[in-house]
Structure 1
Amino acid sequence: MARDRRVAAVGYVQHYFDQRGGDADATFQSLPRVGSEVPYASGYGFTVPMRAPIGPRDKARLTVAACLKLAKVRVMVGDPFVQALRHMIDLYIKRPILVDEVPTIILRSGELTSALPNLKPWFVKVLPDLLSYEPAISTGGAHLPDGSWEREVTRSVMQLRGVDTVEEYVAKTCEIVAAAAAQFAPAVVAEEPPAAAPERGPYIDVDLLDDLDQAAQKTSWKVHKLIALCLELNDNYVAGNPYACAALIRAILDHIPPVFGHQDFKQVAAQHMFAVKRTDKAHAQRLAAFKDIADDVMHRPISATVPVISMNDLPEPARLNAVLQELLSILQ
């Protein structure tokens, strides 16, 4: 896909919600955020904050955090962003050590393309804009007349050393933003009541389910059972039913291996060549390991001591969403 799906005109988003009986403005204001809004835009959430009044031509922007809820954005933006971030950290670590001078480290678009040839050209083009709105990364740079760009890599990236996944990046960024907010206004932060936990959304991305439903019209594979299992999983996840969720995740993992050309999911995790090799293979391997917990849910008999399964024992939704996104690519 050759466009940045993180950015849309506010008027477009409002119209999309209006057609479906929703309220875009109320939804935008209800999204959970970490940190403080004073000074302006110092917090962090699924979207970049905008100054009021918000006009229809203003741009609504998703952050990397939105990848946790949107499987498509994760594949297109989140996972490539983490790869680029790791490369920036490597550049900073390998900089020359000079006694009386601090060298400036520059990331250039052409050099990034050479170092990470799997990155899509459109992603390389929009990366500077994405970096501008991630609060834990401080960079400056310029766009050059030939269409390339340069971006300074500062010591701020070292805060994110060791980050390998989108989940780890968002958790670390929230930690950094919250610490900065506490330093800026400790009295206000201490006196505020704890924020209510955000309402749990669906486990399987609804746009991904729509895409699977459309793909079913053009493939010989019958995916109606898969979609039904995903819908039931979403209902039970929102309701907070851990045993039903665990059983349904296990059922989905048992159901999909033939599409990948394998008999069981352990073979998928071990042998399938995923499009995003390192990240998605790690997701599949974690899901394969989860089958032990699912077996515990379904097969452990009652006794005097039975371990309790909670919602925290379920694998992160992004893992199964990534595997189903790979399955969708095969169906298409």
Structure 2
Amino acid sequence: MEQPRYRGRFAPSPTGPLHFGSLVTALASWLEARAAGGDWLVRIEDLDPLREPPEATGQILHSLERHGLQPDEPVRYQSQRHAAYQAAIDQLLGRGKAYYCRCSRKQLKASGGYHPAHCRQGTPATGDTPCAVRFALHNEQSHWHDELLGWQHQAVHEELDDPVLLRKEGFFAYQLAVVVDDIDQAITHVVRGSDLLPMTAQQQQIYRALGAEPPHWLHVPVLLNDKGQKLSKQTHAPALNDNRPAANLTAALSALGQQPPASLANESVACVLAWAQAHWQRQHIPLTSRQYTHDV
């Protein structure tokens, strides 16, 4: 049977400009797609306007363009996909795969994760109390193969681990939107940071509940700052300097274990990416998170 065409994606949340850790993940996903002769897409996960500065999306797309990482199809914006997410929720509710939940985080913590309102038993939504919608997981000893880290195992516990699909504030959650869009865009391979590894088994159940097989996974270990924290906007990782893209890309290749020559930092972006494609070795990516300091 013929394998489907490789389709990968980079899906940043626009909570701030692109930083070095995000560039490393974006470059790894771009190179995996190019090595497979496939497509590479960009999706902006703009689901939470309360956390998204209005200029952030433009900054991210500008940084990607300056670093030569151009998507093969028009950029997708999750803020324009609300109808699709609601349709998926309606489908899951109708099939008993999701339920309304009015429990607060404080209540769930106090009850050890179990729902004091017995939400999974079918509590109906009413207009007087804000409700979230959660996915109804089933107990599972989940096993899957990560293309970098090898075989993985994760225990999934129904009720205790049930992820939110729609927040009480009315915002669609990442766990739902990412799966709906991966299915709609026919994504076959996901390259992302290892900080998302723990939610993989939950997401696989959502894929299957929506009638799709999960994609292949490759989790790139995250980079840490000098305090041992993941490089992120929350830990104040500095924005990339878009005026030195070749040097940034060369440093990202080093972080990915590709051992580029130092002179590559002085070449053009096109030269750096051409070298990267010609020398890409997935198996050289480090397997564990580590501190990495880069002058961006």
Query: Which bin holds the TM-score, normalised by the shorter protein?
Result: under 0.3
Higher strand share: 2
- Return the index of the structure with the highest Cα Rg: 1
TM-score, normalised via structure 1 length? 0.23
The structure with higher relative contact order (CA 8 Å, sep 6+) is 2
